[in-house]
Structure 1
Amino acid sequence: MNSATTLKFPFKFAGNLREITIEGEAYLQVAKDPNRPFILHTPKGAVQVLGTSFNVNTYDSGMVKVSLVEGAVAFNSVKLNPGQAAISTTETTVTTLNENDLLWIKGRYKLDNTPLSEITKILPRWYGIQVVIDNSKIADKKFTGTILKSEPVEEFLDAIKITTGAEYYYKDKILHIH
């Protein structure tokens, strides 16, 4: 499970179904059991798991992304093959799996031309800090690089400062970027 993720499941699965609910992001490996289907509920639909390894991301409240590594899943009536991802907003579309989506499992988050406004959504999950952009003009500045969870957030912020010119400071335990 990635940071700031909630997983709900019963103490013991009742009947022939194995059902759980997720908000956030998790990488799951599910044993195949045709007699006891595994269903993962998300805010945008259910994933029927057919014995597999996959990632599910629901951090963005308007979107769910299911990335299949191996096996098979069906999400909103779309069956995925290994190496595919399904993105559900108002409808579900299938794309190629982006390996960067799985780097969080290894404590890395790769950013590719990502606006600072999006980065400020990641930092609270990974570092447990509140982040505010003081200057709206820098919210759209883009950064390419990697966050390493094992390093202090200041290492990453220094890289942002060098590449975008955005400064940062702390006030009342809140990280301000300007």
Structure 2
Amino acid sequence: GCKSGEACTIVLRGSSSHVLDEAERSLHDALCVLISTVKEPRTICGGGCTEILMAQAIDRHVAETPGKKAIAMEAFAKALRQLPTIVADNGGYDSAELVTQLRAAHASGKDSYGLDMYNGSVACMNELGIMESFKSKLQVLISASEAAEMLLRVDDIIKAAPRQRDQGYGY
């Protein structure tokens, strides 16, 4: 290792230029993750745990919120609950069963529980070490919210007529 504040050199070797290029990209990605983690060391539980917690927090505030704002909040909470469902589906598991178990675990106060995709069950994410970067999760939520807001601001759609195909063989 290098002393604090000093530069160091990493020598990469590979059997071909393609292997070497891939190794360089992988090393660059790893260094970027390391730098990001040093700058923002906070982590949150993975496995859909955070999404369920956020959805529950929104649900608590919906009862106190009047009008159309409550409907939008319910839709956002529903979208957050979809993320663990998608993760379970992509893992090849019965998402309805797993997400129901996850919601029941959170309802009984097991706030650090999420989806254990290795075993197809619900388990404590802290014990399993399944964590996500706080910074990346925050950015995902901000980007998704901005995209949804942009779509909601659309008040009209102009539909263009379909293009006519060339009847000849003019490629």
- Relative to the length of structure 2, the TM-score reads 0.23
Q: Which has the higher helix share?
A: 2
- Relative to the length of structure 1, the TM-score reads 0.22
Which has the greater radius of gyration?
2
- Larger relative contact order (Cα-Cα within 8 Å, sequence gap ≥ 6): 2
Q: Which has the higher strand share?
A: 1
